[in-house]
Amino acid sequence: GTVVIGISDGYALILRTTTEEVLALDHYSDGTQAPFIVAKTFELFFRGLGTAFLERIPNGQNNILATSISLAVCGIHQNRFWDWIVA
């Protein structure tokens, strides 16, 4: 099953209860985009959020941070959710 665990300005966050994957659904898409993975597990998702909160440079260049978090929590080099979180 799935559970909506959060809604923000940009994304709805969905937890897949069978796998613990956290997915994001872009609010501004045209409805044709499927939810995409932002973390392999619920725990990794919150670790990524904590890292973003503590390490982010306000109004700074956070591209390397976004890539680092994305690789650590979901194994994907480029993830628009993490880019958005640290922006």
pLDDT at 67: 97
pLDDT at 33: 86
pLDDT at 72: 98
Q: How far apart are CA 14 and CA 78, in angstroms?
A: 19
pLDDT in tens, 46-70: 999 999 999 999 999 999 999 999 9
Q: Which residues of the chain have pLDDT under 50?
A: none
This prediction has a pTM of: 0.90
